[in-house]
Structure 1
Amino acid sequence: MSLPRVKVVVLGGTITMAPSAQAGITPTLSGEALLAQIPSLKEIASLDVVTPFLKPGASITLTEIAELAQGFAQDDADGIAGIVMVQGTDTIDETSFLIDLLYQGHAPVIVTGAMRGAHALSADGPSNLHNAISAAADPKTRDLGCLVLLNEELHTAANVEKMHKGLVSSFQSPNGGPIGYFLEGRLRLLRRPQSRPNLRLAASSFPTVCIAKPCLDENPALLNALPSLGYSGVVVEAMGVGHVPGQVLDALHALTQSLPVVLASRVTGGPVYTNTYGFPGSEIDLIKRLGLIPAGWLSPQKARLLLTLCLASGMKKDDIESAFAQFDPR
């Protein structure tokens, strides 16, 4: 019986990093070098490995991810069983969501990485890579889109967040938890995620979208300056369930006259509210009077990506609102 085919795409990140001639660790190991550390993989899947580049996760671009998503679609059409993308953990919460928005194939895309360098004591990279490849080869993940697997936990791209700067347990899904675990050498899928949004988003170019974070006693000067800085949209990273200081309301109102403005929150757990608080600067005031678009359960950085793709696809405000509403199940 032939083994399932899995493509492994290595982009760099801590999982590939080793001590350099200078201080600290830097991306060093190719995809072939990573796989060579795990001989048991030959019993799990037939592997194709590519290393398009080696860079830190923070330096990956939207264009690079969009090009990878197009390649994944072709891999899916060619009959690949699954795809594993290996990268730096700084942006896994963003790149996985971007792929999930752009890629509509049947073969799963499993994103993984490591919190410890390749030469660290108890490096977590080999285990994460082994488990991700196993999950990509497992028929249970077919048609689930892009998923994230680290620390034996399987997460959906829309929900996963990096919650700690250094622990191997850094990646969590604050709203609902992981959908499965890799235990005793196999994937145990507890539940299937809800159906994936059908947005048909384009990615030929990427307009710039800003995340603005009003804090205690915020000065509105930055918000006032945004239209002159070339941004095409704004995500407001508000407080609590979706509140901002009263002194920035005039600036936000001016922004909504020329740009789509999305309302997200700096608080990780829970959705942006839409109909509870009614004071100036509350979510009701921002959504109903000023016209901000609620981000639902999406984090500010994921709301930025969705708004970027909506604008790239030529959507107007009503269509953008409908797109975001798909991430706020009711």
Structure 2
Amino acid sequence: MPQKLNHTTLPILAIGALGGTVSMRATQPGTKAGEALFSGMVQLHEGLDVRIETLCLVPSASLCFNLLLEVLIWAQDQVKLGAQGIVITQGTDTLEESAFFLDLLWNADVPLVLTGAMRSSDQPSPDGPANLLDASRVALDTHSRKRGVLVVMNAQIHQAQHVRKCSSMALEAFSSPLFGPAGVMIEHRACYLRKACARTVLPIPRSIHHKVALLQASLSADTVLLEHVLALGYDALVVSAFGAGNVSVEWADLIDQITTEIPVLVGTRTGSGSTAEASCGFIGSELDLTDRGAVMCGLLCPYKARILIWLLIGSGLGREVGKHLQRLGFKAAET
């Protein structure tokens, strides 16, 4: 059961802890990790009904889609119980992917905010407490409503669609290439840099047993894995391609065969920018791959493209991925 720190009719903040660096701290015997995260934060507890629950304690590299669906249900239940804001803490390794997964399914106006830490509590100047406090303030800010899932790190507010972890260990590890942060924290309050936009929310997947392969193009890469994608039973393939969406001649020929059986998405491995639509026509270019049946991901990175197609397949919409990339704003509508 969630831990209640107040028992009055105060604004409700629900906090779910999943583990990660932000949870790496000593606790008193019998104290749950979620409670330990916020112990001593008097400025957070004042005037609030703070409800804290440890949902799991695993490194974020070990999170999975099924567990995130359970987190989604927990968060939806908190809204039904009257929460005005919800915070999820987890490790930063997969934070961008977790946020995008939840954002695609989050249909409430109530803010759902993810945060974590780059430094554990036993290191000098740990950032966890500040990130947690900022995330809680963002979650309770009325201007955060109808913005879907947000990521708060290092006094910046990022939209789940755009945020990326761009550095392995730096405090400023998270950014939103091309788009920039949606807001910043100034004097303990959220200051948004742009208005909330209309969102597209996907249905909850009916099936969860399908699987999506993600393969990255590299110089002189062999084709062994590509040759076995269909035989291994994958339901879709995402290719992390060179530049604006290019692969070798050998990869292009195999993609030609694979697209007849399962969806193939092509994103850029560069970390920023869009795949092209009509720039090059050589074998293995975006024009060639499109002709072979592949779908270019536009501004959506390969990691998040894998999440999108997994959710779509689970709802029976796998062949409509191109339309959803347009609806979600990752590529221009076809003319």
TM-score range, shorter chain: over 0.9
2:268 maps to 1:265: yes
Q: The residue matched to 1:262 in structure 2 has which SS?
A: strand
Residue of 129, 139, 160 corresponding to 2:142: 139
The change in CA–CA distance for 1:36 and 1:141 in structure 2 (over 3 A counts) is same
Distance across 2 between alignment mates of 1:160 and 1:193:
16
Aligned match of 2:90: 87
In 1, Cα distance between equivalents of 2:173 and 2:268: 20
How far the C-alpha of 1:237 sits from its partner, in A, is 0.4
Residue 37 (structure 1) shift = 3.4
User: In structure 1, which of residues 289, 295, 298 is the aligned counterpart of residue 297 of structure 2?
Assistant: 295
Give the unaligned 5+ runs of structure 2. 1-7
2:113 aligned with 1:110, yes or no?
yes
Partner of 1:53: 56
1:5 lines up with 2:12 in the alignment: yes
What's the secondary structure of 2:229's corresponding residue?
A: helix
- Cα distance in 2 for partners of 1:329, 1:253 equals 22
Query: Which 4+ runs in 1 deviate beyond 6 A?
Result: none
Amino acid in the other structure paired with 1:230? G
| Structure 1 unmatched runs, 5+ | 21-27
One-letter amino acid matched to 1:212: L
Q: CA separation in 1, counterparts of 2:166 and 2:243? A: 18
**In the alignment, which of 239, 253, 256 is matched to residue 242 of structure 2?**
239
Aligned match of 1:67: 70
Residue by residue, what CA displacement relative to the aligned partner does 1:180-239 show, whole Å, maximum 9, x if unpaired? 001211111111343211332425414110101121122112101111112110001001
- C-alpha distance after superposition, 1:26-64 (max 9, x if no partner): xx9701111103221113632100001111110111111
Q: Once structures 1 and 2 are overlaid, which stretch shifts more, 108-117 or 74-83? A: 74-83
**Aligned-pair Cα RMSD in Å:** 1.8
SS at match of 1:128: helix
Q: 1:291 to 1:113 in 2, by over 3 A?
A: same
Structure-2 residue corresponding to 1:213: 216
Does the 8 Å contact 2:309/2:318 carry over to 1?
Answer: no
Normalised TM-score (structure 2): 0.91
8 Å CA contact 2:105, 2:201 repeated in 1:
no
The count of residues paired between Structure 1 and Structure 2 equals: 321
Distance, in Å, in 2 between the alignment partners of 1:9 and 1:122 is 24
Q: Distance in 2 between matches of 1:148 and 1:203?
A: 27
CA 1:19–1:215 in 2, change beyond 3 Å: closer, same or farther?
farther
Does the CA-based 8 Å contact 1:215-1:245 persist in structure 2?
no
Alignment partner, residue 281 of structure 2: 278
73-82 vs 124-133, which deviates more?
Answer: 73-82
Tell me if the contact between 1:206 and 1:308 (Cα under 8 Å) persists in the aligned partners. no
CA distance in 2: counterparts of 1:264 and 1:243, whole angstroms:
9
- After superposition, the Cα gap between the structure-2 partners of 1:46 and 1:203, relative to the gap in structure 1 and judged at 3 Å, is farther
8 A contact 1:264–1:272 mirrored in 2: yes
Aligned residue number for residue 315 of structure 1: 317
> Aligned partner of 1:16: which letter?
S
Equivalent residue of 1:88, what SS? coil
1:190 matches 2:197: no
User: C-alpha deviations, 1:289-316, integer Å up to 9, x for none?
Assistant: 1111121211111000000001000114
Asked if structure 1 preserves the Cα contact closer than 8 Å seen for 2:280 and 2:286, the reply is yes
Aligned equivalents of 1:284, 1:177: Cα separation in 2: 29
Aligned equivalents of 1:141, 1:329: Cα separation in 2: 25
In the alignment, what sits opposite 2:4? none
Decide which moves more: 290-299 or 118-127: 290-299
Question: What is the letter of the counterpart of residue 321 of structure 1?
Answer: G
